[in-house]
Amino acid sequence: MPAPKALKNLKIPGVEPPKRSCNDPNCPWHGHLRVRGVILEGVVEKYRAKGTAVIRRDYIYYVKKYKRYERRSSKIKAHVPPCIDVKEGDVVVIGETRPIAKTVKFVVLGVKKSAAGGE
């Protein structure tokens, strides 16, 4: 099955389409899932549930009262297609999509940096 038109021309810095193919309908590369909205980067904190990973996103927040910055983080649950191999500690790129489950509203688009230091 060819990739959807929306992602054929999608250029995300540091992310290439997966070399393996899959038949998951919720895969943005080989299925019918459209990516719209924000594209974020984060670290895989947990990958235990089948097809779902917990991504930790660190960011800086400015506190007006104290005129200083503080580090904050949020945890986002994302669907992992079978054609993308992720491990805990990998830096991944995720994209917003329609709700796949009650708490899953993002999908992993690719691995930017492997935990082992490969890519």
Is residue 34 predicted with pLDDT exceeding 70?
Answer: yes
Check if the beta carbon of residue 17 is closer than 8 Å to that of residue 26: no
The model carries a pTM of: 0.84
Whether 6 is in a domain gets the answer no
The pLDDT tens digits of the residues spanning 49-80 come to 889 999 999 999 999 999 999 999 999 999 99
What's the length of the chain? 119
Residue written as token pair 């104290």: 66
In a domain, 64, yes or no: yes
Judge whether 39 lies within some domain: yes
Is residue 10 domain-resident? no
Task: Say if 4 falls within a structural domain.
Answer: no
Q: Specify if 52 maps to a domain.
A: yes
Counted domains in the chain: 1
pLDDT for 12: 72
Q: Identify each DSSP E strand in 34-118 by its residue range.
A: 39-46, 52-63, 68-79, 91-96, 106-113
What is the span of the domain harbouring residue 108? Answer: 21-113
Residue 50 sits in a domain of what CATH number? Answer: 2.40.50.1000
Between CA 63 and CA 55 the distance in angstroms is: 25
Handedness of CA 103, 116, 58, 109 (dihedral sign): negative
